[in-house]
Amino acid sequence: MVYLTRKIEFSASHLYHNPALSAEENRRIFGKCNNPHGHGHNYTLEVTVAGEPDPVTGMVLDLKELKAILEREITGRMDHRFLNYEVPELRGQIPTCENIAQVIWKILEPKITQGHLYKVRLYESADIFAECYRNGANCA
Catalytic residues, by residue number, are: 33, 80, 124
Q: Is 139 helix (H, G, I), strand (E, B) or coil?
A: coil
In angstroms, the CA 58 to CA 130 distance is: 30
Instruction: Tell me if 41 sits within 8 A of 99, measured CB to CB.
Output: no
AA identity, residue 102: Q
| Torsion from C-alpha of 63, 90, 98, 21, nearest 10 degrees | 170
Distances (CA, A) of 120 to 21, 26, 60: 30, 28, 17
